[in-house]
Every structure is written in C-alpha cells, then in structure tokens.
Structure 1
Amino acid sequence: MHTMWKGSISFGLVSIPVKLHAATENKDLKLRQLHKECHTPISYEKVCPGCEKEITNDDIVKAYEYEKNKFVVLDDEDLEKLKKENDDKSVEIIDFVKLEEIDPIYFEKSYFLAPNDGGGKAYALLREALKDSGKIGVAKIIIRSKEQLAVVRVYENTLLMETIHFPDEVRGTGELQLPDDQNVSKKELDTALMLIKQLTTPFEADKYHDEYRSALLELIEEKRAGKDTVEATDAKKPAAKSNVTDLMSALQASVDKTRKKPGKTTAKKRAPATPKPKTGKSKGVS
C-alpha cells in the first residue's frame, strides 16, 4: 500500500512514529471524450481568454478574488513561507470525545495509520486505550499545505484517521425552503414507522454494490468482445500545428512578395536600356 505521508501521532508527551495510507479509493470509471469523426481523444489547452493565446504553467500566478474581477496576487514566496511555518509532520491529538457526538456531515476522507520504525508498542498502547475508553481523538494535521481537522479512532485492528470539516465549512440550512409538519396524521406516521421497522436490519457493507458501475463494465466488455471498438488517429501536437500554420503564412507571404518583384525588376531594367539610333522613318512604314 502506497505511503503518502510519514510523521507522528502525539498526545500529551507521547509521540508515535506513523505512516499514512489512503483507506478508500474512487472506483468510478473514467470515460474519455473523443472526436466523433476521427476518434481522436479531446485535449483541453490552457488559453487566456483575454490574450487569446495558449499559456504554460510558468505564465500562471495564484490569486484570491475578493470582489468580482478584483484579485490579490500571491507569489510563490508568500505561499512557501506559510508552508514552512505550518509544515509540521504531526497528528496532534488535542481532545478525546465520543464518536456519536460528531454528526456524519463533518466527515470527509479516511486514512489508515500504520506504525513506522520503532513505533509499534506506542501504537498498540494508543489503540488499546481508545478501545477501552470508547473515545476517539480529535486532532489537527497538515496535509498538502492545508491544515485539517481530524479524528483518530480504531477500525478493526488499525488506527484510522478521518479528516473532518471545520464548522465554518459546513453550510447552514437557514436558506432552505423546508416544509413544516404538514399536519401529518397519526395513522400516516404509524404506517411509516411500521415500514421502517420491517426494513430495519444490521448494517452489512458487503451486500451493497455499485450496480451502475457493474452494468457499465459489463457493457464495455460486451462491446470489446464483439469488436465494437474504434482506434484513435494520431493526434497532432498543438505546437506543431501552430508552427505549420506560421510556416504556411510565411511561405505564402514570400510567394506573394516574389510575384510582385519580377514586374518591378523588369521595369527597372527597361528604363536604363540604351536607345536605338534614330534612322528616320522609312517611306513604306506607316
């Protein structure tokens, strides 16, 4: 399993060296977009709409839009300074709480925490202490230069860290147009409660599947087996295309310029030509 971060868990004076691994993965099937006519994959270029030209990463700066079309530009030195000030490779547990006290809306992404070299005993100690206490740790961590709020809890026999949203990142419901009780009758409520009771069962994660993804995979395999496939033509590189266009323009301009020169050159040559001696007009010539 890929190690994406190395650091430590700290609570009180205890420090546990750990490694961080992504606990979940996105199983969505990524579909490419092709040109319908030639089946070439479509690429998206970075183009400045103001200058109407393609730009590279070196031409881009980061900025914060504080009003419509008004920005504060932040250079790399500004951001690097903040990164160094907050680049602490530590999961600092600051509180212990009960899991049920945190609403699921706060949870974001899950990571496995594994002990790093020399951290086995302290890792086991924290794991057993969390099990026996029935508590989870609330912590702070820096991931990719961003401060994250997180919880550390036991999952199976592993310490699991889940990043959670800060309170100001969770939107309020005040702007939503919600119904009142709509005079729900006792009979309607009892029927709904009966239905909930009939459908109540212990949660078993293995029985839930992404049926759409399975059907899509089956469809793709059927088409592939039936040779219902296409092959992309070689895509021309944007830079090469641009050079060809510029070259053709230059060649055409050169051709046009060359076409005009013979007329001018001929006129210039004729002008200084030595006149023929005047012999007078012959009588038979009109």
Structure 2
Amino acid sequence: MHTMWKGTISFGLVNIPVKLHSATENKDVRLRQLHKECQSPIKYEKTCPVCDREIESDEIVKAYEYAKNKFVVLTEEEIEELQEENTDKSVEIMDFVQLEEIDPIYFEKSYYLSPNEGGSKAYALLRSALEDTGKIGVAKMVIRSKEQLAAIRVYKNTLVVETIHYPDEVRNVQDVPNVPEEAAPVQKELDTAKMLIDQLTAEFDPEKYQDEYRLALLNLIEDKKNQDQTTTAKERAVPNNVTNLMDALEASLDRAKKAKPAPAEKKKTTTTVKKTTVTAKKTTAPKKAVPKKKQTKKNA
C-alpha cells in the first residue's frame, strides 16, 4: 500500500511515528471522448480567449477570483512561503470525544495509519486506549499543504484518520430550498411507515451493497471487447521530410511566379521615354551662342 507521508501522532507527551495510507479509492469507470469521424481521443488545450492561442505552463499564474473577472494574483514564492509554514507532518490530538457526537456530514475522506519504525508499542497503546474508552481523538494535521481537522479512531484493529470538514465548509441547512415545515402526520400513515422500517431493518453489511451501474457498464464493455466491437485511434500523420521539401520548393516557385517583374512591354515604354528625353536634350544643345561665334571667325 502506497505511503502518502510519514509523521507522528502526539497526545500529551506520547509521540507515535506513523505512516499515512489512503483507505479508499475511486472506482468510477472513466470514459474517454473520441472524435466521431476518426475515433481519435479529443485533446484539451489550455488557451487564452483574449490572445487566441495556446498557453504554455510557464505563462500561467495562480489567482483568486474575489468578484466576477476580478482577481488577486499570487506568486509561486508567496504560496511556497505559506506552505513551508504548514509542512509539519505531525498529528496533534487536541480532544477525545464520542464518535456519535460527530454528524456524518462532517466526514470527508478516510486514511489508514500504520506504525513507522519504532512506533509499534505506542501505536498499540493508543489503539487499546481508544477501544477501552470508546472514544475517538480529534486532531489537526496537514495533508497536501492543506490543514485538516481529523478524527482518529479504531477500525478492525487499525488506526484510521477521518478528515473532517471545518464548520464553515458545511453549508447552512437553512439555505436548502423548499423544505416543508414540521407538521403532524396522519397517525395511520406514520404507523405504516414505521412498520415498513421495521420490516427492512437489518444489520449493516457493506458487502451486500454494490454499484449496479458500474458493474453493468463493465460487463457491457467486456462483451463488446469479446465480440471484437473495438476501434483503434488513428495515429497522427508524421510529416515526411522529402514531401516537406517538395512542398516548400513548389510553394517557393509559386511565390516567385507571383512576384515576377512586370512584362517586357512596360520596360520598353520606360526606355523609350528615357531615350526621348535624352534626344530632346541633345536637340536643344545647338541653340547655345558658342557655335555662332565660331562660325563668324571662320568667315572672316
């Protein structure tokens, strides 16, 4: 059995080294969601609706939403500092009470306690003391960085820790809607109800109860497996380097064609304009006065 943590139970001056083990397990049949078309598992990604992109783990921070869309951001350093203050793995029994005094609504989760090295004698002592007095210990402990209220009791020769909700974690029963007011029932109906309860009264045997839906679902799954009514998810196509290279070359060629220079006719027009401009400049050159003076001297 997996050990969750190692610590000590203390009551008075007695310290018992113990190990904590989960006493229960969730046996719900978990169904995956597949894409109906290709029978592949649906992938859930962490995305930001504002940035419209997938977010990496190092981009995520923790915050408390104190009002709609209003948050108080907490740094990892601040959280770790608080956790370090509550990492003492000791179970301090504060009071001893009768189990019947605690309403079942307060119970949350069960854990087995086993003695750690050198703790067997003190473990057996506490177990015997609880059995003889018929009481349980109310203690405080830290599990997974959360401070828990807990009850320590004996279950089939083993010490068990039952984590208990704090009073402010149990919702006010006055807030439950549509609860009828107390009214005197019809005596005949009440007597009949009591007779029915008497007929159905039995000694509690947990082995006689089972999750009918879970068993039926498991049987259905097994039948489908035996009848070969199964499916295999398609693996994601692995890109081929050669194909990628050809795609890249073809895309580059298409891009080059689109970015090809203007047709030759436009170039000729531009050249003609330039030549015309040059010719015009050469034509206007003889109008200068210098050639006239040279001609006068020659006639003389």
Give me the TM-score of the superposition, normalised by structure 2: 0.83
Runs of 5+ unmatched residues, structure 2: 240-246, 276-300
- Write the letter of the residue equivalent to 2:258: K
Structure 1 residue aligned with 2:219: 218
Runs of 5+ unmatched residues, structure 1: 241-247, 276-286
Q: CA deviation at 1:182?
A: 4.6
Q: Contact 1:64–1:71 (CA<8 Å) still a contact in 2?
A: yes
Q: CA deviation at 1:258?
A: 1.6
Structure 2 residue aligned with 1:86: 86
User: For 1:79-158, what aligned pairs fall within 5 Å after superposition?
Assistant: 79-158=79-158
Distance 1:266 1:113, change over 3 A: farther
Distance 1:21 1:200, change over 3 A: same
Q: CA deviation at 1:180?
A: 2.0
Give the number of equivalent residue pairs: 266
CA distance in 2 between partners of 1:16 and 1:250 (Å):
73
Residues 127-165 of structure 1 deviation map (CA, whole Å, 9 limit, x = unaligned): 001111111000111111111110100000100001010
User: For 1:1-286, what aligned pairs fall within 5 Å after superposition?
Assistant: 1-176=1-176, 177-235=178-236, 254=252, 257-264=255-262, 266=264, 270=268
Q: CA deviation at 1:268?
A: 7.9
CA RMSD of the aligned region, Å? 2.5
Choose 1 or 2 for highest CA Rg: 2
Instruction: Name the SS of the counterpart of 2:189 in structure 1.
Output: helix
Distance 1:257 1:101, change over 3 A: same
Instruction: Name the SS of the counterpart of 1:86 in structure 2.
Output: coil
Q: CA deviation at 1:259?
A: 2.3
Q: CA deviation at 1:235?
A: 3.5
Which has more helix, going by share of residues? 2
CA distance in 1 between partners of 2:259 and 2:173 (Å):
77
Q: Contact 1:40–1:235 (CA<8 Å) still a contact in 2?
A: no
CA distance in 2 between partners of 1:194 and 1:62 (Å):
56
CA distance in 1 between partners of 2:117 and 2:236 (Å):
49
Q: CA deviation at 1:249?
A: 10
- Write the letter of the residue equivalent to 2:6: K
- Write the letter of the residue equivalent to 2:256: T
Distance 1:78 1:236, change over 3 A: farther
- Write the letter of the residue equivalent to 2:130: L
**Once the two structures are aligned, what percentage of the paired residues are identical?**
62
Give me the TM-score of the superposition, normalised by structure 1: 0.87
